[in-house]
Amino acid sequence: MVLLSLYQPDDSESISLPIAKTILYTHVLHRGLTMGTIIGALVHPALYPLRKRQATSQTLPKTNIIPHAFPSFKTYLFSPALFSTMAKTTYVMTAVIGVATTGMMWGKEPIEWQDRAYRLCWNEGQNRVDKGSLAGIAAGVVVGGMKGLRGHALLGAGGVGSVVGVLGAVAVGKLM
């Protein structure tokens, strides 16, 4: 995970239970950011016409036709509303995945927590993906800030960076 790459336990060292839980929860919450962004990008096109209808219903006569229901691709791609939707689905996915992890690990023995954490720490592919995701988050937030995004939209830009970083890390892993 983000911190897992920095924390490499010795082969003979056992991971203590509080650290194991922190490692596992950090991992799943980081994945929640990436998953929430992807889901938000898929959900947003369905929400766009509804938002457009709400915005135009106050200024235009009542009709069943939505003028310009879908924007150009460039307008859609850099829409603050898209980034905001991705941020909101990220909040939901992070909460859902955190609760799901708690439910899945409820009643597990400490050795099971420690085993999962140890495997996350020593999985080269996972560490590469985590580093790519972290670099992507940083780049997404910087680029989003330069584009004038703020608040929820800036989190969405970080999420997009995370997705791009994960895809880049997976592609690099396939080439090696």
Evaluate if residue 53 carries a pLDDT over 70.
no
Q: For position 20, what pLDDT does the model report? A: 86
Q: For position 175, what pLDDT does the model report? A: 77
44 within domain boundaries: yes
Return d(Cα 28, Cα 103) in angstroms, integer.
13
149 within domain boundaries: yes
Q: For position 155, what pLDDT does the model report? A: 92
Q: For position 54, what pLDDT does the model report? A: 57
User: 115 lies in which domain range?
Assistant: 17-175
90 within domain boundaries: yes
Q: For position 96, what pLDDT does the model report? A: 95
C-alpha gyration radius of the chain: 20
104 within domain boundaries: yes
7 within domain boundaries: no
Q: For position 56, what pLDDT does the model report? A: 53
- DSSP secondary structure string for all residues of 93-148: HHHHHHHHHHHHHTT--HHHHHHHHHHHHH-HHHHHHHHHHHHHHHHHHHHHHHTT
More confident residue, 5 or 27: 27
Contact 108, 125 (CB under 8 A): no
Contact 161, 139 (CB under 8 A): yes
pLDDT digits 0-9 by tens, 65-123: 555 555 666 666 677 888 888 999 999 999 999 999 999 999 999 889 888 888 888 88
171 within domain boundaries: yes
4 within domain boundaries: no
Q: For position 2, what pLDDT does the model report? A: 47
The count of domains in the chain is 1
Evaluate if residue 160 carries a pLDDT over 60.
yes
Percent of residues, the chain, with pLDDT higher than 90: 44
Q: State phi, psi for 122 to the nearest 5 degrees.
A: -100, 5
Tokens of 81: 């509303």
At residue 10, the 3 state secondary structure works out as coil
Is the pTM higher than 0.85? The answer reads no
3 within domain boundaries: no
Return d(Cα 163, Cα 108) in angstroms, integer.
31
Task: Give me the mean pLDDT over the 32-46 stretch.
Answer: 90
Angle at which helices 17-57 and 152-175 cross, to 10°: 120
Contact 66, 56 (CB under 8 A): yes
Evaluate if residue 6 carries a pLDDT over 80.
no
